[in-house]
């Protein structure tokens, strides 16, 4: 597409000196009364404009397609990279900033690609061809006029560098504003609950003011630039007429040549203005390019081996062998951690917040890699298998179920572009969700808004369980799955959980010990170590840390 577009650019640019030459030829015969010759010249001019218009359409259409193709490819590539980087990064950055980079910044890159091929190259080519024509008509006049060209180049370069700095500041301010809007609109109920509307208005006003100042500074600099460039151009044209009169008086330039020369100079004005504007746009877009490619430079910490295998259907035996890990090297969470779990066993992890319970299971999913030691499933090191085949066999029912915008059915069949609605309904029945879904206005096709705010906590949890049932994992992780529910919802969810726990290897993370009493083994985790292990009755008989937790919760 670029090759064909550039061919159209060359054809379009070649017509500029032809038009100037034709204008000079016409001026010779204007007073001669040769109507037939003038008609011939007029027809040739129409043909030139027609062919020039076709070439211009070709360059505009093809270069637009190139620019939008680049946008699409870049946006897909950045988003795919973010998915590979994972939640560890995306949870530490502002959502609004990421959204701005994937939309506005990528669009700015595309805009520059389009202008570079559609305007910058054609204008540069036109400048070269017209300049060559001017030198051919009268080289003394041309050299004299273009003494001012370096001055224009220096001024444009200085303004361009300033614009790049101003644009980076402006785009960062816009990202901050978008992040604040995302944060505040997502927590509107909390703002109203604490009567914090004045505070939210104040914060928004501050960010909006900073955004305004940054944008105005950029546009003010551009507004200051154009009169200066225009003044230099005007001086150049006036200087041209003075020199042209001098050349005519010396006999080095005829009247018709001067007409042709003046038309060529007029044809230079638009390319010079557009080249100056494009240079400014390119310098402004450098900030966007840097911001987009910053995302692509984020290192991917979890990398599949080149010869990674597909994990076969597993039984659910898990083995942690001498596992050590820390989110930072100087603060280890697990130290030589050992744990062996049999297929179909239910393991409960209890302990204070920050003890390492979630970390143990994050490592199983390979959200992070162990610093030393190994984790194997059915005797296969999880680092030797593909991430998709590993995670497809591990289901999670989290404490806070995240629903995406879409239908109930789409949320249950999360991750599947095509699904069987009957299988979705069957999973919902097992999860005790079918009854409330059937009562919704459009049943399984009822639209769920962002984060599923129209549903109760218990309903969202049952959808999460239905999702896990449809997923049919061999390993199931229940992460505080009932902690935020009322007693009636908890009973429905607990009943559903007991159904799907059958014949699976299950991990239960819980602070409420009533939910772990039926586990095959309860592990008390403290500072990344197992300090107690056993069944519920065994641990109560030991009167150790678990018994203390239990007594504290059930003292009444």
3-state secondary structure of 453: coil
Number of CB atoms found within 10 A of residue 90's CB: 13
- Helix and strand numbers (H, E) in the chain are 20, 12
Same domain, 285 and 411: no
Residue that is last in its domain, among 266, 296, 326: 296
Would the pLDDT of 225 be above 80? no
Residue pLDDT, tens place only, 115-148? 787 777 777 777 787 778 777 777 777 776 666 6
Q: Considering the domain boundaries, does residue 429 fall inside one?
A: yes
**Share of residues in the chain with pLDDT > 70 (%):** 83
Residue pLDDT, tens place only, 372-395? 999 999 999 999 999 989 988 998
- Do 47 and 18 contact (CB within 8 A), yes or no? no
Same domain, 406 and 291: no
Would the pLDDT of 484 be above 60? no
Secondary structure letter of residue 544 according to DSSP: S
- Ranking 70-79, 105-114, 187-196 by mean pLDDT, the lowest is 187-196
Residue that is last in its domain, among 264, 296, 328: 296
- Do 325 and 371 contact (CB within 8 A), yes or no? yes
More confident residue, 390 or 279: 390
> What contacts 18, CB < 8 A, 6 or more positions away?
48
Q: Considering the domain boundaries, does residue 501 fall inside one?
A: no
Cα distances (angstroms) measured from residue 353 to each of 11, 65, 184, 350, 525:
71, 53, 28, 9, 10
Contacts 24+ apart (CB under 8 A), 136-143: 137/253, 137/257, 137/260, 137/261, 137/264, 138/247, 138/252, 138/253, 138/257, 138/261, 140/247, 140/252, 141/240, 141/243, 141/244, 141/247, 141/253, 141/261
Cα distances (angstroms) measured from residue 396 to each of 434, 450, 502:
20, 20, 15
The closest of 368, 355, 280 to 86, measured between CA atoms, is 368
Look at residue 375 in the predicted model and tell me its pLDDT.
95
Look at residue 338 in the predicted model and tell me its pLDDT.
94
Task: Kindly report the length of the chain.
Answer: 556
More confident residue, 178 or 428: 428
Same domain, 405 and 291: no
Supply the DSSP string of 487-513, one letter for each residue.
HHHHHHHHHHHHHHHTTSEEEEE-SSG
Q: Considering the domain boundaries, does residue 468 fall inside one?
A: yes
Strand 346-350 and strand 505-509: pairing?
Answer: parallel
Q: Considering the domain boundaries, does residue 349 fall inside one?
A: no
Element (H, E) at 523: strand 521-526
> What contacts 195, CB < 8 A, 6 or more positions away?
none
Strand 372-377 and strand 521-526: pairing?
Answer: unpaired
Residue pLDDT, tens place only, 14-49? 776 666 666 666 666 555 556 676 677 677 777 777
Look at residue 109 in the predicted model and tell me its pLDDT.
82
Locus of tokens 């006999």: 251
Residue pLDDT, tens place only, 390-406? 988 998 888 777 777 78
- Do 357 and 511 contact (CB within 8 A), yes or no? no
- Do 349 and 366 contact (CB within 8 A), yes or no? no
Q: Considering the domain boundaries, does residue 282 fall inside one?
A: yes
CA 249/CA 243 separation, integer angstroms: 10
Supply the DSSP string of 170-186, one letter for each residue.
HHHHHHHHHHHHHHHHH
Contacts 24+ apart (CB under 8 A), 301-305: 301/85, 301/86, 301/88, 301/368, 301/369, 302/84, 302/86, 302/366, 302/367, 302/368, 302/369, 302/387, 304/386, 304/387, 305/383, 305/384
CA 262/CA 396 separation, integer angstroms: 75
- Ranking 84-93, 337-346, 375-384 by mean pLDDT, the lowest is 84-93
Strand partners, 377: 318, 380
Secondary structure letter of residue 385 according to DSSP: B
CA 346/CA 397 separation, integer angstroms: 15
Same domain, 270 and 418: no
- Confidence tier at 485 by pLDDT (50, 70, 90): low
How many structural domains are present in the chain? 2
Residue pLDDT, tens place only, 489-548? 667 777 777 777 888 899 988 777 767 888 899 999 988 899 999 999 999 988 888 888
Element (H, E) at 372: strand 372-377
Locus of tokens 């001067």: 258
- Do 425 and 444 contact (CB within 8 A), yes or no? yes
Question: Residue 331: is it exposed, middle or buried by C-beta count within 10 angstroms (0-12/13-18/19+)?
Answer: exposed
Q: Considering the domain boundaries, does residue 186 fall inside one?
A: yes
For the domain that residue 432 is a member of, what is the CATH number?
A: 3.40.50.300
Q: Considering the domain boundaries, does residue 279 fall inside one?
A: yes
Q: How far apart are the first and last CA of the chain?
A: 76
- Confidence tier at 90 by pLDDT (50, 70, 90): low
> What value does the mean pLDDT take over residues 190-217?
78
> What contacts 220, CB < 8 A, 6 or more positions away?
none
> What value does the mean pLDDT take over residues 200-227?
79
* Domain range enclosing 445: 401-472
Residue pLDDT, tens place only, 147-169? 666 776 677 677 777 777 777 78
CA 218/CA 156 separation, integer angstroms: 15
CA 434/CA 436 separation, integer angstroms: 6
Question: Residue 45: is it exposed, middle or buried by C-beta count within 10 angstroms (0-12/13-18/19+)?
Answer: middle
How much of the chain is helix, strand and coil, in % rounded to 5? 65, 10, 25
Residue that is last in its domain, among 442, 472, 502: 472
Same domain, 273 and 422: no
Supply the DSSP string of 128-147, one letter for each residue.
HHHHHHHHHH-HHHHHHHGG
Strands (E), 263-351: 318-325, 334-341, 346-350
3-state secondary structure of 347: strand
Q: Considering the domain boundaries, does residue 105 fall inside one?
A: yes
């Amino acid at each position: 597409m670029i090759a064909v577009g550039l061919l159209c650019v060359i054809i379009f640019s070649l017509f500029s000196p032809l038009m100037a030459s034709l204008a000079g030829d016409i001026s010779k015969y204007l007073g001669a009364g040769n109507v037939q010759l003038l008609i011939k010249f007029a027809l040739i001019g129409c043909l030139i404009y027609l062919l020039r218009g076709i070439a211009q359409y070709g360059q505009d259409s093809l270069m637009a397609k190139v620019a939008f193709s680049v946008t699409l490819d870049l946006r897909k590539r950045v988003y795919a990279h973010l998915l590979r980087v994972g939640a560890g990064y995306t949870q530490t950055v502002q959502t609004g900033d990421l959204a701005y980079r994937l939309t506005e910044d990528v669009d700015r890159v595309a805009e520059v690609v389009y202008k570079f091929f559609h305007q910058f190259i054609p204008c540069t080519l036109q400048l070269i061809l017209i300049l060559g024509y001017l030198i051919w008509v009268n080289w003394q006049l041309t050299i004299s006029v273009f003494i001012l060209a370096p001055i224009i180049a220096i001024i444009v370069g200085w303004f361009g560098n300033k614009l790049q700095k101003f644009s980076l500041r402006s785009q960062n301010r816009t990202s901050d504003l978008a992040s604040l809007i995302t944060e505040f609109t997502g927590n509107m109920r909390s703002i109203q609950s604490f009567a914090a509307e004045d505070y939210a208005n104040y914060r928004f006003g501050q960010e909006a003011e900073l955004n305004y100042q940054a944008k105005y500074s950029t546009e003010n600099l551009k507004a200051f630039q154009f009169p200066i460039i225009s003044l230099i151009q005007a001086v150049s044209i006036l200087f041209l007429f003075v020199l042209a009169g001098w050349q005519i008086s010396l006999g080095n330039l005829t009247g018709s040549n001067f007409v042709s020369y003046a038309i060529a100079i007029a044809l230079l004005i638009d390319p010079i203005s557009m080249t100056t504007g494009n240079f400014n746009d390119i310098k402004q877009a450098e900030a966007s390019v840097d911001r987009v490619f910053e995302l692509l430079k984020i290192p991917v910490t979890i990398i599949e081996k080149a010869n990674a295998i597909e994990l076969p259907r597993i039984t659910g035996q898990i083995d942690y062998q001498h596992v050590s890990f820390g989110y930072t090297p100087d603060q280890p969470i697990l130290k030589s951690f050992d744990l062996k779990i049999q297929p179909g066993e239910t393991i409960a992890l209890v302990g204070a917040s920050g003890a390492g319970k979630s970390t143990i299971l994050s490592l199983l999913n390979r959200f992070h890699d162990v610093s030393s030691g190994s984790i194997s499933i059915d005797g296969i090191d999880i680092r030797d298998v593909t991430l998709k085949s590993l995670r497809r066999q591990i289901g999670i029912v989290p404490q806070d179920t995240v629903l995406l915008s879409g239908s109930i059915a789409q949320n249950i069949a999360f991750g599947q572009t095509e699904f069987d609605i009957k299988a979705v309904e069957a999973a919902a029945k097992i999860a005790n969700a079918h009854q409330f879904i059937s009562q919704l206005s459009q049943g399984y096709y009822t639209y769920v808004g962002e984060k599923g705010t129209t549903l109760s906590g218990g309903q969202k949890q049952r959808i999460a369980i239905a999702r896990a049932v449809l997923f049919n994992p061999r390993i199931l992780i229940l992460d505080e799955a009932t902690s935020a529910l009322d007693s009636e919802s908890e009973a429905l969810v607990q009943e559903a959980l007991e159904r799907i726990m059958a014949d699976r290897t299950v991990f239960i993370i819980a602070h409420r010990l009533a939910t772990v009493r039926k586990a095959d083994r309860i592990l008390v985790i403290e500072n990344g170590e197992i300090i107690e292990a056993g069944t519920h009755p065994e641990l109560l008989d030991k009167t150790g840390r678990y018994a203390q937790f239990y007594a504290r919760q059930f003292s009444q």
